[in-house]
Amino acid sequence: APLTFEVDRRADVRPDAEREAVLANPGFGTHFTDHMVTATWRKGEGWTEGKVTAYGPITLMPSAAVLHYAQEIFEGMKAYRHEDGSIWTFRPEANAARMARSARRMTLPELPEEDFLGSLRALLEVDHAWVPPYDGSEKSLYLRPFMYASEAFLGVRPAAEVTYSVIASPAGAYFTGGLKPIRLWLSKDVSRAGRHGTGAAKCGGNYASSLAGQLEGIEQGCDQAVFLDAETETNIEELGGMNLFFVTRDDKLVTPALTGSILEGVTRDSVLELAKDFGLTPEERAIPVAEWIDGVSSGEVREVFACGTAAVITPVGELVWAGGSAPSTAGEGGGEVTRAIRQRLLDLQYGRADDTRGWLTRL
C-alpha cells in the first residue's frame, strides 16, 4: 500500500506578510517553508511513519551512521507556479528513478515512485503558499528530498534504520547577477569521483569531495570548478553541481558521456532532448579539456553553458587554470543558443510552451 503522510500542522506558521517578504527576494537555499516531510524505513519492515510536521531541528544520536560514514543521498527539484495559479513540477519520475539508483549504490532502501511523489504532494498540500507567485521571473520552490542512515550504530554496514525527508526552500536565481557568464576554475589536483566510485549517485559525499576544488576556484576569483576524469585527467566531467554543454561551429550540442562518474542530470537529459528543436545535433562523448581550450581560439567552440535544476542554464565564460586561461565566448549575457535553450526550458516549466513531451506533473 502507498505510504500515507499524517499531517501535524504547526500552530505558529509564519504570517502572510513575512512569507511574502521572503518570496519577493528568496535568494537560494537560505529560507525554508513552515513544514517538512519525514518517513522511516526499518529492515524487515519497510517504509512507515510518514509525517508532515513543523520544519525544525531533527534529533539524531551522535552515533547515527550518516554522521560517520556519510550514507546519504538527495534530490533537487522545483515546484513552479503557472499563470493560472496551479503548481507543477518537472519530470519528477526522473528524480524518483535517480533517487532509486542512488539508493542502490549507497545501499539505502528504494522509495517507490508513488511514495516519492506522494511525499511532495503531502508537503505542497500544507505549504503551497510558499510557491512564489507567477511573475515572469525564474522564482520557484526548490524541493529537496533526502535520505540518510539514522541508525545509531558504529559498525560499518548498510544501516538497518533510515530516514527519508523532504524540505522546501523558495528560490530565485542560483547565481546572482542575472545571465552574467560564470568563470570556471579547472581543478587539476582535486578529483571529484573515480572509476566505479559514487560519481553518478547523488550522494552528499560527492559534493563534499568537490569542495576543495571549489575552494581553490573561489580563491582564484572563479564561480565554480570544472572536474576532469580521475583516470586520465584529460576529459571534462562536470562542475560538481552542474553538467556542462558545448555548442560547436557545426551546430552540435556536445556534453560529456555518462561514464559512471558523472551525475546524470535531469536538466542535462532534457537539454539533449531539446537539441533537435533548435537544429542542433546532440552528442554525448569524451571531451578532452584541450578541445575546449583550442576550440575557443579556433572558433570551433561557439558557446559553453552549465545546467542543473538549481542553476537552470547558466552561460560559462572564461576557463582559468594555474598559469593560464581560455577566454570567454559568451559575451555579456551568454550566447544566442544558450539563451534560446534556457528560455525554452523556462517556458516549458512555467507552462508558457506546449508540454508535448509530457514533462510536467501537477502537484
Question: Cβ of residue 11: shortest distance to ligand COI, in angstroms?
Answer: 31
For residues 214-243, which are near ligand COI according to CB under 6 A? 241
Q: Does 181 bind ligand COI (CB under 6 A)?
A: no
First to last CA, the chain: 20
Candidates 59-67, 118-126, 306-314, 349-357; binding stretch for ligand COI (CB under 6 A): 306-314
Separation of alpha carbons 280 and 284, rounded Å: 13
Question: Cβ of residue 7: shortest distance to ligand COI, in angstroms?
Answer: 26
Q: Does 308 bind ligand COI (CB under 6 A)?
A: yes
Binding ligand COI (rule: CB under 6 A), the pick from 26, 50, 76, 92 is 76
Q: Does 334 bind ligand COI (CB under 6 A)?
A: no
Residues with Cβ within 8 Å of 67's Cβ and at least 6 positions away in sequence, in order, are 60
Separation of alpha carbons 97 and 351, rounded Å: 24
Q: What are the strands, taking DSSP E only, across 262-356?
A: 281-285, 301-308, 312-321, 324-326
Question: Cβ of residue 15: shortest distance to ligand COI, in angstroms?
Answer: 28
Q: Does 204 bind ligand COI (CB under 6 A)?
A: no
Cell of 150: 539514522
Q: How far is CA 47 from CA 60, 108, 120, 126, 336, in A?
A: 18, 12, 16, 22, 48
Given phi > 0 = left and psi -120 to 50 = alpha, else beta, which region is 132? beta
Q: Does 92 bind ligand COI (CB under 6 A)?
A: no
Longest dimension (CA), the chain: 63
What DSSP string describes 114-139? Answer: HHHHHHHHHHHHHHGGGSPPP-SS--
Separation of alpha carbons 199 and 188, rounded Å: 17
For residues 239-268, which are near ligand COI according to CB under 6 A? 241
Question: Cβ of residue 74: shortest distance to ligand COI, in angstroms?
Answer: 8
Question: Cβ of residue 212: shortest distance to ligand COI, in angstroms?
Answer: 17
Question: Cβ of residue 223: shortest distance to ligand COI, in angstroms?
Answer: 12
Q: Does 315 bind ligand COI (CB under 6 A)?
A: no
Q: Is 184 helix (H, G, I), strand (E, B) or coil?
A: strand
Binding ligand COI (rule: CB under 6 A), the pick from 310, 326, 337, 341 is 310
Q: Does 205 bind ligand COI (CB under 6 A)?
A: no
Closer to ligand COI by CB, 76 or 213: give it.
76
Question: Cβ of residue 311: shortest distance to ligand COI, in angstroms?
Answer: 6
CA dihedral sign of residues 126, 132, 133, 138: negative
Closer to ligand COI by CB, 308 or 334: give it.
308
* 93, containing H or E segment: helix 92-105
Question: Cβ of residue 140: shortest distance to ligand COI, in angstroms?
Answer: 11
Q: How many residues bind ligand COI (CB under 6 A)?
A: 6
Q: Does 213 bind ligand COI (CB under 6 A)?
A: no
Residue 348's identity, in one-letter code, is L
Q: Does 210 bind ligand COI (CB under 6 A)?
A: no
For residues 128-167, which are near ligand COI according to CB under 6 A? none
Cell of 334: 551568454
Closer to ligand COI by CB, 50 or 308: give it.
308
Separation of alpha carbons 216 and 222, rounded Å: 9
Binding ligand COI (rule: CB under 6 A), the pick from 309, 314, 338, 349 is 309
Number of H helices, E strands in the chain: 8, 18
Question: Cβ of residue 265: shortest distance to ligand COI, in angstroms?
Answer: 7
Question: Cβ of residue 309: shortest distance to ligand COI, in angstroms?
Answer: 4
Q: Does 270 bind ligand COI (CB under 6 A)?
A: no
Q: Which residues bind ligand COI (CB under 6 A)?
A: 76, 241, 308-311
